Structure 1
Amino acid sequence: MVTVDDLAERMKRVLDTARYLNLATASEEGDPWVATLEYAWFADPLRFVFGSATTSRHSRHLRARPEVSGSLFITGSDGAGVDIASVDGAQFTGRCTEIPPDRLDDYYARFYETVFPEPQQRAQWQLRPMLLQPPAAHRLYLVEVHRWWLIDTRTWTEDRIDRRIEIPLDAHKD
């Protein structure tokens, strides 16, 4: 029997371990797009932050339609094959918008520390806050997660049917 605590542990492992976030957007006309992005996550409520150019396709889509879906995935691979027991992942839906200049301090340091944990690399690639505000070409974006699902591993080994199990957003408590 899988408990909420088991799911919360898996949820935190996926959030802490997945390196990239796949974010699905749609244009004003409904044309789909998926972008693979580095991210930092924040709790209570669950949010993701990523950086991008304002001219990128997903950024243009977000201005017209802020509703998004996405996924995170852990391969469990060491290069010599896949350990199916260590494969895990999640899917989510939410709303994504540019972080306004007056909220940038809430996310800026943690985002760059997560994406570039090595201080020398961070110093090389980190954009100054003024380069993340209008009229600059880059922004930090905030995904407010509305719903969250984990891969349902309970029966996959028996029937190979890929299912999801929705879990409460507050299950990841630190």
Structure 2
Amino acid sequence: MSTAPRGRARDRDAEGRARNARPRDGLGRPLPYGTDGVARQPEGVVRTPAETVAEAQALLDAGRPFHAHEVFEDAWKSGPEEERGLWQGLAQLAVGLTHGARGNVTGGARLLRRGAGAVTAWCGAAPGRERPYGIDVPGLDAWARSLADRLETDEGPVDAAAQAPRLGAGRAG
């Protein structure tokens, strides 16, 4: 099924891959063609782990967890295979917050718990991984589980910026 308006060819990127060109809102939801949206995260950017954490934190602080997820996705796709579980878990945390902010409280809670479990499991797989790249894994785990509990007991969406975690030392949410 085409995502483009009737009579228009399917949206494609510069390499010819199908890619929805509709503008998006701050939580990554598609908007109608011709609507002003927020700038999309470029895909396939190779960053250092420190750059990944810093850029994702800035996006989380700005209430754009969907976009932070895309930064983490770039890290898992371009980084070492042995770190894939860390970056995937962090991406799941960002998507969990995205769903919570969109009002999908059940999906948000599930993804927050899954992401917390993935990051914690990755860090527990070898000694010295408690704070990979300065990431406060115990703080993120506590933040994610607490927010998941709140999503399951409260109705309505959460404010993504107000509920953004601190990836490094300091406030966890």
TM-score category of the 2 structures, normalised to the smaller one: under 0.3
Give the structure-2-normalised TM-score.
0.27
The higher relative CO (CA closer than 8 Å, separation ≥ 6) is in 1
Give the structure-1-normalised TM-score.
0.27
- Greater helix share, structure number: 2
